[in-house]
Structure 1
Amino acid sequence: MSTPARGTFRFVNWTLRPDRDDDAPPVTYAFRCLTLTGNDTECEARSEPSTDPTEPQTWAFGHLREHPEHTSYAEVIERPWVMWREGPA
């Protein structure tokens, strides 16, 4: 019969925070069209992500010009977060 391995456990506190480090990915913004089509599905049109929040807004106005009945949009923001170890619990 073997003896179970013995070990030491170290508990630490973790915090989830926005990643603002110099090497963090940038915050990006996009818009997607929420307007329902004839078969009750969303339009699925979407702007390209941009670090400038006004670029997707400009896309939304262009999409509206092409499709005057498409008046509902959602902003999609991607913000990097990181887990940060703070030390012993």
Structure 2
Amino acid sequence: MAAGVGALSPRSVSRYLAWRIRPESAENTEPKIHQFACTSCPTDSLEGTGVASEDFESARGWIYLHLAKFPEHTGYRESVTRHWRADLLPGPVPATMPVAPRVLP
């Protein structure tokens, strides 16, 4: 490998970094989005996918509409889109914390 970005050398230092990973809580964060899909319909079917909504009950309500048309379709899958934040924690890595290695130049 050529010297440069990402190249390891005898002077490289490896250390572990502690990260806290949590749902995003900033005020300007996009809201969580719920969407349901019928597991009996083909995956590329528009009719088998409900509307995406910030409101869980509105998203879930689509299932009842779908059941009215297809009473034999009884399996559904929920997809949730939620934004997450990773913060680098200062100080040493606690022994019980999952860590991500990072090679420093």
TM-score range, shorter chain: 0.7 to 0.9
Deviation, 1:27, is: 0.7
Which residue among 14, 21, 35 is the counterpart of 2:26? 21
Which residue among 42, 63, 69 is the counterpart of 2:66? 63
Seen in structure 2, the aligned counterparts of structure 1 residues 21 and 83 have a Cα distance that, compared at 3 Å, is same
Aligned positions of 1:1-89 closer than 5 A: 12-35=17-40, 44=45, 45-89=48-92
Give me the TM-score of the superposition, normalised by structure 1. Answer: 0.72
Other-structure match for 2:98:
none
Over residues 1-33 of structure 1, what are the superposed CA-to-partner deviations in whole Å (9 max), with x where a residue is unaligned?
Answer: xxx8x7888864211111011111211111110
User: Unaligned regions of 5+ residues in structure 2, if any?
Assistant: 1-8, 93-105
Equivalents in 1 of 2:72, 2:50: separation in Å? 17
Aligned length: 81
Aligned-residue RMSD, C-alpha: 2.5
Q: Secondary structure at the match of 2:90?
A: strand
Give me the TM-score of the superposition, normalised by structure 2. Answer: 0.63
Identity of aligned residues (%): 26
**Counterpart residue type for residue 51 of structure 2:** E
